[in-house]
Structure 1
Amino acid sequence: MRFAAIADIHGNCAALKAVLDDIAALGIRDIVNLGDCFSGPLEADHTGDLLLLLDLTSERTVRGNHDRYLIEMAADQLAASDAHAHRQMSSRHFDWLRKLPFSMVWREEVFLCHATPQDDNVYWLETVSPHAHVTLRPQHEIEALAQGIEQSLILCGHSHIARMVALSDGRLIVNPGSVGCPAYDDDAPFYHKVETGHAMASYAVIEKTEGGWAVTFRNVAYDHMAMSRLAAKNGRPEWASALATGRV
């Protein structure tokens, strides 16, 4: 088994296209998607059309927290990034979102969720201190969140940080990083920033070998400045900075 894992596209269709081209160049046909597909001041409409064309259905895609906001909240209650996406999206995009599960098991061997198996808005592999430090979550806390999952490979996204953590029983948790948003700030649970320090699109290639799961994190260059300029045009300077530099 060899496949690609993508997450956190956030409406960045140019980054998604670059990642898909890279995946195709590697000869990989299977892709799983860990959610947060649309939210952002970019191109939610084009992103949605491409995901539908790829047929990344509910059998290969789970719903992210921002995906959930788009289908559960009234348009006038959405935050800026979600509201921008909502205005661009068509009924077919919303219909696709409504069919996505919170979590799933893919091909009986891989567990997929957006953030944690219990909550789509909590970092699994990271923790945030009251002083805005984002660090690796203690091992016992990571393992507690994985209780009850039988699959040897567990995939999550949400934090936009490419990372893998081995559990004491041999299971592996992998976050492939973010396709379309290399940096952001947030005020929950405390104000903090997540910054990759680069402007490339990120994803992971995962292969089952005789020795276990092998993970390769890949970073793909694309015309990130075009997306940065689009974010600036749409009144989002913090997104423009993030897309240009990987920092906010």
Structure 2
Amino acid sequence: MRIAAIFDIHANLPALEAVLQEVASLRVDMLVVGGDVIAGPMPNETLALLAQYQGNKVLLKGNAEIDLLHCLNHEPMHPLSPRAAHEIHWLANTLKQEFIQKIVNWQFSSEIHSPELGRMLFCHATPRDSHEIFTEQTPTEQLLPMLGRSRADVIVCGHSHIPFERRLPQCRIVNAGSVGMPVGSNLASWVLLDGQITFKQTAYDIHAAAQRIRQSDYPDAENFVQQQVLHVPNTAAQQQLLSELMQQQQLASAS
């Protein structure tokens, strides 16, 4: 079985277009879209493109989709930053109703069995929580509870935007990186699973993408262009941000 796992598109439509073109050339059996599809400049267009995908696909909720639904239902949200909270409210007023209804039905996680890799669990962040953060350096004793009751041989996730593979005694953890907000390189990052695990990077025309994003209605378009398209965070800066967010989550859970 050949599976393309794409996470954290963040409504970067030009990046997604390039990735789907490469996915089509690989003739995959399944496309897994691992959440945080909508939090970015072109959400309706991004959802429309995914709806047009004709192959087998699984769509999972990320923290952005869950926060959106909580916002629409007037329930407490857990945004990772004030900017993220503002973006969710913008999305609530921007997304077409037909797409919102589809997001409601997206799964939290999905299990797929591979003859070569065994039981694979796909989830946005961790098997127990779509907002929870861990990194390649998270101590094992802190990481293990995050896996919940999962008995998967391979856990495929995203959320932190840094691709890595980590081997634990009971499973392998694979972070697919980010299609729309990659770290360390402005190539769209994703993973191909076809008996082995291959980290993929797909180039796209970042200058043409910048122009399209600037022409969108996204209120933070120029910052997105400058910080996520033309330039991207380096790995060290992203690791520092993740460490700070992890500390905030730990303090919140302890209070």
- TM-score over 0.5 for the pair: yes
Whether 1:4 and 2:14 are equivalent positions in the alignment is no
Amino acid at match of 1:44: P
Q: Deviations over 1:70-106 (max 9, x none)?
A: 2220499973333443343212210110001222322
Give the direction of change, closer, same or farther, for the CA distance of 1:147–1:75 in structure 2 (3 Å limit): closer
Task: Work out whether 1:117 is the aligned partner of 2:102.
Answer: no
Aligned to 2:146: 145
In the alignment, which of 76, 86, 101 is matched to residue 107 of structure 2? 101
* Aligned partner letter, 1:50: L
Residue of structure 2 equivalent to 1:70? 68
Following superposition, the deviation at residue 230 of structure 1 comes to: 4.7
Residue 231 of structure 1 deviates from its aligned partner by: 4.6
2:248 equivalent in structure 1: none
Q: Give the alignment partner of residue 92 of structure 1, picking from 53, 78, 98.
A: 98
Q: Which residue of 2 aligns with 1:211?
A: none
TM-score of the aligned structures, taking structure 2 as reference length: 0.76
List gaps (5 residues or longer) in structure 2.
Answer: 78-83, 235-255
1:160 aligns with 2:161: yes
Distance 1:231 1:247, change over 3 A: farther
**Residue 52 (str. 1) matches residue 51 (str. 2):** yes
- Greater per-residue helix proportion: 2
Task: Give 1:79's aligned residue.
Answer: 85
2:71–2:92 CA contact under 8 A, matched in 1: no
Matches within 5 A, 1:197-212: 197-208=184-195
Taking only aligned residues, the RMSD between alpha carbons, in angstroms, comes to: 2.5
Corresponding residue of 1:185: none
Deviation at 1:61, TM superposition (A): 1.9
- Cα distance, 1:203–1:105 mapped onto 2, change above 3 Å: same
TM-score (norm: length of structure 1): 0.78
In structure 2, C-alpha distance between the alignment counterparts of 1:228 and 1:64, rounded to whole Å = 25
SS in 2 for 1:49: helix
Of the three residues 225, 234, 251, the one matched with 1:240 is 225
CA distance in 2 between counterparts of 1:24 and 1:100 reads 22
Q: Could you tell me which runs of 5 or more consecutive residues in structure 1 were left unpaired when the two chains were aligned.
A: 127-134, 183-195, 209-213
**Which protein is richer in strand relative to its size?**
1
- SS of corresponding position for 1:73: helix
- Per the TM alignment, residue 141 of structure 1 is displaced from its structure 2 partner at its CA by 2.1
Cα distance change on mapping 1:56 and 1:143 into 2, 3 Å: farther
Decide whether the 8 Å contact of 1:43 with 1:85 is kept in 2: no
